[in-house]
């Protein structure tokens, strides 16, 4: 039985998948599970300049553009 290009591609893709999974597993074990509260990581308090803005905060309405 001859080896087909489909078999070669299948074997190569499974090897690549295995390598990627191995790398991801190693990265996951090196990361801390949680980063801690904002004060411990140097984030500004809410409302201070350069503070994080909520993605769900109401945004101002768009103004109509004037046609020239």
Indicate whether 65 belongs to any domain: no
Find tokens 């080896």 and name the residue. 3
The answer to whether position 3 is within a domain reads yes
Total count of domains within the chain: 1
pLDDT, tens only, 3-30:
999 999 999 999 999 999 888 887 666 6
The answer to whether residue 1 sits within a structural domain is: yes
pTM: 0.38
Beta-carbon-side half-sphere exposure of residue 67 (alpha carbons within 13 Å): 0
Q: How confident is the model at residue 68 (pLDDT cuts 50, 70, 90)?
A: low
């Amino acid at each position: 039985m001859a080896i087909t290009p489909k078999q070669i591609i299948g074997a190569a893709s499974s090897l690549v998948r295995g390598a990627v999974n191995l790398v991801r597993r190693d990265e996951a074990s090196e990361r801390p599970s949680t980063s801690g509260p904002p004060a411990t990581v140097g984030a500004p308090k809410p409302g201070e300049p350069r503070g994080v803005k909520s993605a769900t905060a109401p945004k101002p309405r768009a103004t109509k553009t004037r046609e020239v």
